[in-house]
Structure 1
Amino acid sequence: MSPQPRLVLNVDDTEAVRYAKTRTLQRAGYEVIEAGTGADALRLVDEREPSVVLLDVKLPDYSGIEICRIIKRDRPWILVLQVSASFVASADKARGLDSGADSYMAQPAEPEELVAAVRALFRLHDAENALRRLNDELEQRVADRTRELADSNARLQAEILERAKAEAALVQSQKMEAVGQLTGGIAHDFNNLLAAVVGGLSLIQRRSKEQPIVELAGHAMHAAQRGVKLISQLLAFSRTQELEAKPVDVNGLILGMQNLLVQSIGPTVAISTDLDPQAGHVLADANQLELALVNLAINARDAMAGNGRITLSTKVEPQPGSALKWIVVAVEDDGPGMPDAVRERAFDPFFTTKPAGQGTGLGLSQVYGVARQLGGRATIESQEGRGTKVMILLPQAQDFEAPILAAPLKDVPGGNGETVLLIEDDDDVRRVLSDALVELGYQIAVAENGVEAIAIVEGSPVDVVVLDYVMPGMTGAETAKRLKAIRPDLPIVFASGHADTRALADVPGAHRLLRKPFAFDELAQRLREELTRGA
């Protein structure tokens, strides 16, 4: 049985990624069938005999490497293009090609790159079929053999060129990943710097009796908070920011970001709101929702060439077949609108209508991804000459308790002489936190690393620990585990400027986390909670 012409089997366990690749290939004229597991992939290979298999390396039941070996063992004429978003090193590529794969590509890939890679495999498939026919008809078509082999060689040369382009794209992808990791590290360092700045300003506000100084400290604190927001955006770019879905007053969020919108899009664009008073609260990450709305507003400004009106609106809609409701958050402009072909691809990663160098094509795809990650979805309404409306549908928060606002520092109960062990490797942050803890009425013991902290707990009475998460040598999570082994009942409050804190899940009973930079009222409140709980 020979493979069916132009039939591609797309194997990927992530539905959104699988859908995007299928849609791209269908638009290029290929018939595509899908599988979400290795077992389904092998079944479809038996039933449909595709010409090309687009195979994800990481599957829930089998490894893509193993599936490739089985396909190549039983049907060597089927061509396999392995793809991966996780295994992109040279060794990973070599392992994939050694398993029999005909090509290897890192995800995410631009649609044009994916189509070009599949087209190259079909050219290789056609060349192999041509050679097979030549062998079958060798005696009858000796005169044509040289021409056919020359054509085959040309196609193989084209395949070499396509593979070279794919390797260049892989290098670019690795560079972007390195930039993301660098950005995350820089953001962590800036969080530590801001922690010292915010802490020092808090002490000035608390200790100073002169109103002009208090006001100046307040202005500086406002600027520092803007720095905190910038760091949050850097972490979002580096994809290390964890989304925290909490009840958010969506109308209040939109009204509170009016100044930010004016600064972002300029004075030549008018901004208006149409807010449903019944919208209430949505389950969202406030920082990421605000960032998405700002990005949509900037896109709208660019579409209107800097002149026009942007309207931010909210409304309540029922969820079909459910008692729950959607809160629709929309950004609408009166610009030129989108042609149907552009609107259909607007959420596709790397798709952009802007000139080269003026857009990455990731803005709308990030909005779509945030909406999906928060349990909602994103849609677009647009017609040429009638503007564009991008809508983010998020679930309405149900039966939540309004957050209790932290009291000002002077109203938060301080310490009663309890001993706080402060473990912090940054000198500036350690000095500021030490001053704050003394100001709050605590006795302090100080350690610069986990080894010093363990010695203190073994030899001195300690009531509660404030522990930095990221430290050289023994990490915060490792230190906490050692301290818990000595004192299982010892309360631990983590203070972290790092975004990725998944290792805390392995620390028993030590999940109280303060995000740097934090105000001292937060620190005071958290310490009283821990000491009261342990009493």
Structure 2
Amino acid sequence: MTNHDNVIILNVDDQDAPRYVKTRDLQERGFTVIEARTGAEALRLIETERPPIVLLDVELPDITGYDVCSFIKKKWPGVMVLMTSSTFTTSIHRTRGLDSGADSYLVQPAEPLELAAAVNAMIRIRQAEDAMRTLNASLEQRIKDRVADLEAANLKLKHEMEQRERAETALVQSQKMEAIGQLTGGLAHDFNNLLTAVVGNLDMIRMRATDPRIARQAEHAFRAAERGSKLTAQLLAFSRTQKLATAPVDLNGLISGMGELVNQTLGAEITVVTELQDGLPHALADANQLELAILNLSINARDAMSGAGTLTISTRLDSSNRQRLVVCVADTGTGMPPEVVARAFDPFFTTKPPGKGTGLGLSQVYGIVRQLGGDVTIDTAVGKGTRISIALPIAHAEAESENAGPSDVSRGSETVLIVDDDPDVREIMSGVLSDLGYRVKDVENGESALKLLSDYRPDLLVLDFGMPGANGADVATSARQLIAGLRILFVSGYSDTSAIERAVGKASLLHKPFRPAEFAAAVRSSLDARRD
């Protein structure tokens, strides 16, 4: 006999004898049976006991079995109903019972085995339905989990793609920058040599000219050549290959001197206003790079104003730190939302359409200012314009005069050997030193210099870093093997300052293009320095 102790069956019948027989037959086969005599009583027991199977007689004293079955199926659809009757036995009655929701219809009296078999069949159906519901619930959960996994995977894939695209963009930009660096590095050497000769000769002409008209013309040409020198420095800074050269800078003078350049760059639709506080001390900065930073900010401001508006460049003493000066570039443009401000200094980040911006402008400004020991802040709101403030440390020395000439530096009588592959540069350097009383020899390459040093003992070797054949560092090593402790002044038109400094160590280094006074001062300083 099968054990059905855990299966409760509700036997509903108002007649005691048939109800007793059905209960007894089921109990003998291991079922737990509870009884009800009316439809209302049956519904109360289902509410409290929740039997899985109801054995329901059609004819009841208060409610018909059909109505009871319909109510059960509406409220407890999981309860299975086996309708029974000894009176309503026709096909019409059986059909009505099944239509009311009954799961099966059994005509009474039925054999005990038939009744048990019918109940067992319903139990199997109930168990199959339960298993199906469990499976469906499991499948639904698995589908939900799978959908969630797919959504997470899609989000991750999308993120890996705001990341892959950014990495690819950064790589392309980095490759462009590397190419620019290599190109400008090579051009800088030749261009700086050319500028050294131009600046040097013009400086000599303007200092020696007795005709005021010639002196004035030389002065104009000299200033143009210096602008060329600044342009080279800015290109090199853009390729990130040249270290900053800090010195005291007159901010008001620098900004005033940029007026023509800024106006030409921004166009006639942009009104440029300057508000320069009088009596400011000098800032410690690299004038060329600071000009580049202000120009970058001005171009960004022009773009934010869609080509028409007012740009204000101002200077003042930092009210929160009296040891700093502030340069502000403000526009009347569209302003920036907080999410853009948060990323404004990120390299390669730009809100401009493709081909309209590299995303390097503000990051370059930030890098320059931080190298100078300053800070950059952004004050902006959508529709309210943008103000970018650059805070720079105050210099504790005055700016050097730009009009210093050879007559302002000390003279000398020492012997100097100049090694440079550019004949015009050699001529300028030799002429400056000869005029100051030095005894000078010059050669065009390192091989010639080393041959000469076998029986010639100069007090100073002026050595170009980049030359055909052996570079300056190699020549210096061989020269010091011939003459221990030989003082050496390197001159270089190359842009990669860090690489040069690694090669020459602690030796003196003068960058091209230089003015005659700067060269003379560097020579004097190298000669006066303690021997290594």
Give me the TM-score of the superposition, normalised by structure 1. Answer: 0.63
Distance in 1 between residues matched to 2:275 and 2:165, nearest whole Å: 49
Distance in 1 between residues matched to 2:274 and 2:267, nearest whole Å: 17
- Contact 1:184/1:234, CA 8 A, preserved across alignment: no
- Contact 2:419/2:444, CA 8 A, preserved across alignment: yes
Deviation per residue, 1:106-145 (Å, 9 max, x gap): xxxxxxxxxxxxxxxxxxxxxxxxxxxxxxx9xx99xx99
Match of 1:327 in 2: 325
Match of 1:46 in 2: none
- Contact 1:202/1:519, CA 8 A, preserved across alignment: yes
Distance in 2 between residues matched to 1:346 and 1:164, nearest whole Å: 20
Match of 2:65 in 1: none
Paired residue for 2:488, among 479, 485, 492? 492
Paired residue for 2:512, among 511, 516, 519? 516
- Contact 1:481/1:507, CA 8 A, preserved across alignment: no
Match of 2:405 in 1: 408
Distance in 1 between residues matched to 2:485 and 2:505, nearest whole Å: 10
Match of 2:443 in 1: 447
Q: What is the percent sequence identity of the aligned residues?
A: 48
Distance in 2 between residues matched to 1:259 and 1:170, nearest whole Å: 34
- Contact 2:170/2:348, CA 8 A, preserved across alignment: no
Offset of residue 228 of structure 1: 0.5
Match of 1:22 in 2: none
Letter in 2 for 1:263: Q
Letter in 2 for 1:258: G
- Contact 2:203/2:405, CA 8 A, preserved across alignment: no
Deviation per residue, 1:495-531 (Å, 9 max, x gap): 21123233445646622x3221112122223333344
- Contact 1:269/1:310, CA 8 A, preserved across alignment: yes
Deviation per residue, 1:255-291 (Å, 9 max, x gap): 3322322222233322222233464233322211111
Deviation per residue, 1:372-404 (Å, 9 max, x gap): 22222211111233221111122333x446547
Match of 2:227 in 1: 226
Offset of residue 309 of structure 1: 1.8
Q: 1:343-422, aligned counterparts within 5 Å?
A: 343-397=341-395, 399-400=396-397, 403=400, 407-416=404-413, 418-422=414-418
Letter in 1 for 2:172: Q
Deviates more, 1:454-463 or 1:284-293: 454-463
- Contact 2:318/2:391, CA 8 A, preserved across alignment: no
Deviation per residue, 1:63-98 (Å, 9 max, x gap): xxxxxxxxxxxxxxxxxxxxxxxxxxxxxxxxxxxx
- Contact 1:304/1:335, CA 8 A, preserved across alignment: yes
Offset of residue 231 of structure 1: 0.3
CA gap 1:325/1:420 in 2 versus in 1, 3 angstroms: closer
- Contact 1:469/1:494, CA 8 A, preserved across alignment: yes
Distance in 2 between residues matched to 1:251 and 1:168, nearest whole Å: 42
SS at match of 1:358: coil
- Contact 2:416/2:462, CA 8 A, preserved across alignment: yes
- Contact 2:270/2:311, CA 8 A, preserved across alignment: yes
- Contact 1:419/1:463, CA 8 A, preserved across alignment: yes
CA gap 1:217/1:486 in 2 versus in 1, 3 angstroms: same
Match of 2:276 in 1: 275
Check if 1:462 corresponds to 2:462.
Answer: no
Match of 1:106 in 2: none
Deviation per residue, 1:476-512 (Å, 9 max, x gap): 123223333433443322221123233445646622x
**Structure 1 unmatched ranges of 5 or more:** 1-136
Distance in 2 between residues matched to 1:480 and 1:501, nearest whole Å: 18
Match of 1:196 in 2: 197
Letter in 2 for 1:491: R
Letter in 1 for 2:175: K
- Contact 2:432/2:520, CA 8 A, preserved across alignment: no
- Contact 1:415/1:440, CA 8 A, preserved across alignment: yes
Deviates more, 1:515-524 or 1:244-253: 244-253
CA gap 1:206/1:462 in 2 versus in 1, 3 angstroms: same
Distance in 1 between residues matched to 2:208 and 2:324, nearest whole Å: 47
Distance in 2 between residues matched to 1:358 and 1:504, nearest whole Å: 36
Check if 1:293 corresponds to 2:294.
Answer: yes
- Structure number with bigger Rg: 2
Offset of residue 367 of structure 1: 1.4
